[in-house]
Structure 1
Amino acid sequence: MLKAIIIDDEPNAVGLLALRLSQHCPQVDVVASCTNSHKGIQAILDYRPDIVFLDIEMPQMNGFQLLEAVGGISFSLVFVTAYDKFALKAFRYSAIDYLLKPIDTQELIQAVARVEKQQKTAPEQLEALKQQFNNPGKPFPDRIALPYQNGVSFVNLKDILYCEADDNYTKFYLVDGQHHLVTKPLREIQDLLEERDFLRIHRQFLINLSHIKKFVKGEGSYVVMSNQQTIPVSRAQKDRLMERFGWL
């Protein structure tokens, strides 16, 4: 069983989440529900949970301040939030799980499943997320968190050659020859990176435009990347690729 704590200043939100967990996630035991940040801190210290469902915006003490007061994070963290698109991208860059209010049952089930498979939330993930929330006008960072079975790797965007779809997973290929497989579909990665000099040129590939060495046009168009890998360009995406570079 996973010991869970819910911390949210809205009693209705706490009750609904606890009900959804009891109905759809029998492997989760809600050992404490708190509508006060200070009580939430004490509950974490008393129960040593496996997972904490935490609201960010709360009176007196927000979610980040609560976590700082707790000290070291020895649990998996799932933020429960009503934030906008900017905030959701911040979560994705840091690879910290979140649930958007009103909570969708299937997304809750998936979040719990991810917690079961992965390690605890790393301090670096939380710090990356905190910086984005404290500087909402700041461009998204030059690094992205890539979760894997034993933890999280932070990778510089400039070191990503391309990403390849693998069913509901995405494989990242890096300049040093390393590969990272993450449990996110390519469409989610596309949503994050196409604002940062990346382009999806094929249903299976998202590439870093900075690493293109050659573009070969024709019936079977393709690009040659800086590692000499050739990647096909779909007919539908060829014009988008040419527009990004202003090619004739």
Structure 2
Amino acid sequence: MNQQKLHSIGQFNLYDKIKLNTRTGYLLINTEDILYCEAEGNYTTIFLSNGNNEISTLNLGKIQKLLSVPHFSRISRSIIMNTQYLYKVDRKKRICVLQHGSKTYELPIPEKQLRTLKL
């Protein structure tokens, strides 16, 4: 039987859940369900594979520490993406395209990060 672990900080495998504080409580999210995270001031919007998004009261730096698995890459000051959903990198337009099902998401990426993007 596959038993999932709950972590609020530290290292874990891809199928673990993380705890994200919200304004009204907290969320428990499987890391494989996260497409990308985008900073919004001191908050972070988490974009999920089911099409929903959630707002966490944690800043992007704290989210990055929680997502310290190889499938997540910080591509700019304001975005962390799940490289499992990476479909295309367009160097000319400086975007990363994520794809899940029939939906695509275009994320801007600075030229410097294009060269250092690790998969």
- TM-score, normalisation: structure 1: 0.40
Structure 1 pair 183/193, CA: closer, same or farther in 2 (3 Å)?
same
Is the contact between residue 18 and residue 31 of structure 2 (CA under 8 Å) also seen in structure 1? yes
Q: Find the counterpart in structure 2 of residue 222 from structure 1.
A: 95
Instruction: For 2:23 and 2:112, locate their aligned partners in 1 and report how far apart those are by CA, in whole Å.
Output: 35
Q: Find the counterpart in structure 2 of residue 239 from structure 1.
A: 115
Letter in 2 for 1:188: K
Higher-RCO chain (CA-CA 8 Å, sequence separation at least 6): 2
- TM-score, normalisation: structure 2: 0.80
Q: Find the counterpart in structure 1 of residue 12 from structure 2.
A: 140
Greater share of residues in helix:
1
Structure 1 pair 168/149, CA: closer, same or farther in 2 (3 Å)?
closer
Residue 9 of structure 2 aligns to a residue whose secondary structure is helix
Shift in Å, 1:91: 4.2
Greater share of residues in strand:
2
Instruction: For 1:168 and 1:148, locate their aligned partners in 2 and report how far apart those are by CA, in whole Å.
Output: 12
Is the contact between residue 23 and residue 56 of structure 2 (CA under 8 Å) also seen in structure 1? no
Is the contact between residue 222 and residue 232 of structure 1 (CA under 8 Å) also seen in structure 2? yes
Shift in Å, 1:177: 1.1
Identity of aligned residues (%): 31
Q: Find the counterpart in structure 2 of residue 211 from structure 1.
A: 85
Shift in Å, 1:189: 1.3
Residue 58 of structure 2 aligns to a residue whose secondary structure is coil
Shift in Å, 1:194: 3.9
Is the contact between residue 36 and residue 47 of structure 2 (CA under 8 Å) also seen in structure 1? yes
Is the contact between residue 172 and residue 179 of structure 1 (CA under 8 Å) also seen in structure 2? yes
Structure 1 pair 146/192, CA: closer, same or farther in 2 (3 Å)?
closer
Is the contact between residue 146 and residue 180 of structure 1 (CA under 8 Å) also seen in structure 2? no
Unaligned residue ranges in structure 1 (runs of 5+): 1-89, 94-138
Give the 5 Å matches for 1:22-61: none
Q: Does 1:92 align with 2:9?
A: yes
Unaligned residue ranges in structure 2 (runs of 5+): 1-6
Q: Find the counterpart in structure 2 of residue 183 from structure 1.
A: 57
The higher radius of gyration belongs to 1
Deviations 1:52-88 (A, max 9, x none): xxxxxxxxxxxxxxxxxxxxxxxxxxxxxxxxxxxxx
Q: Does 1:157 align with 2:10?
A: no
Q: May I ask how many residue pairs the two structures share in their alignment?
A: 108
Q: Find the counterpart in structure 1 of residue 45 from structure 2.
A: 171
